[in-house]
Structure 1
Amino acid sequence: MGKVLARLAGLLIVGIFFGCSGKLPTDLGVENGRLAQCPDSPNCVSSQADPADQQHFIAPFSYSGTKESAVARLLAVLATEKRVTISKQTANYVRAEFRSAWFGFVDDVEFYFPDRPLVEVRSASRLGYSDFGVNRKRIEHLRRLFEQAGS
């Protein structure tokens, strides 16, 4: 617990003096049908991680209907969230930046719509080691809203 508190204090100090947004990772997006792998740190979840990796794996979203309607539904859900900026959007991909209320830490959240009724998801913190489960909670929250909007 002491190490976690020390790391958190260090991040806060760095954030106060240097800003908390971090640099945009260069490996975001879809390459060969895959989102970037999660790092070893516990501040990332992905539906394309190995399902045996309980720390990083999270189930993809599913939907019925067209891909276009699913993308529109996701964008409508994201529009209801606070401190979210859509930073990239194509016919089969959406990337959003979520900023924390305190210090403005940025998490990059990606949604990939392959040619089947699934939404592959990835949510990762730009800075730090642990996110205290924030990325997992966010994806599950967005899943619930996405499902509710489709019913």
Structure 2
Amino acid sequence: MTLSMPTEAKEAEKTLPPCPNSPNCVSSQAADSDHFIAPFKIKGGPEDAFSALKKALSEQSRTVVTEATGTTLHAEAASLIFRFVDDVHAILDADAGVIQIRSASRVGYSDFGVNRRRIEALRTALQQAGVIE
């Protein structure tokens, strides 16, 4: 007996939460250029890349990985002074050879580019580890 998921459920597993209208969010699945950031294109094994992402997130200051499965990840990053929390979501899409990524502030309107810089710092760390292009 084989269990199969409806197509909608499979696609939902590959979908990040949408960005709000405010500029304090970036997502590789955003349709608009203000919020869009390129996904991480995997080199080599998808599981290795996802494991490296989890490690890189854990090594960022004031960042805690709160949930992780084989294909999804959620982390919380707190700002230094006011301890505002940003949410980082990642989805491993091994079929497409990418990691979909999103970082967004929970409160406020502007983040002064913090979320974009966070994702680009992760990109650099994963490129240096040789797991993404």
TM-score w.r.t. length of structure 2: 0.85
Larger radius of gyration: 1
Give runs of ≥4 in structure 1 deviating > 6 Å.
Answer: none
**Structure 1 unaligned residues grouped into runs of 5+:** 1-29
Where in structure 2 are there 5+ consecutive unaligned residues?
A: 1-10
Matched, 1:39 2:17: no
SS at match of 2:12: coil
Within-5 A mapping of 1:62-77 = 62-77=41-56
Identity %: 48
CA distance in structure 2 between the partners assigned to 1:33 and 1:86 by the alignment: 19
Q: 2:72 aligns with which of 62, 70, 93?
A: 93
Q: Which has the higher helix share?
A: 1
**Distance in 2 separating the partners of 1:133 and 1:39:** 15
Cα separation, 2, equivalents of 1:32 and 1:71 = 15
TM-score by length of structure 1 reads 0.75
Q: Are 1:107 and 2:91 counterparts? A: no
State the Cα distance separating 1:31 from its structure 2 match: 2.3
Task: Report the Cα offset of residue 100 of structure 1.
Answer: 0.6
CA shift for structure 1 position 32: 4.7
The CA deviation at 1:58 is: 0.5
**Distance (whole Å) between structure 1 residues aligned to residue 15 and residue 54 of structure 2:** 21
- Check whether the contact 2:50–2:99 (CA below 8 A) recurs between aligned residues: no
Give the counterpart letter for 1:39 in structure 2: P
CA distance in 2 between partners of 1:75 and 1:81 (Å): 10
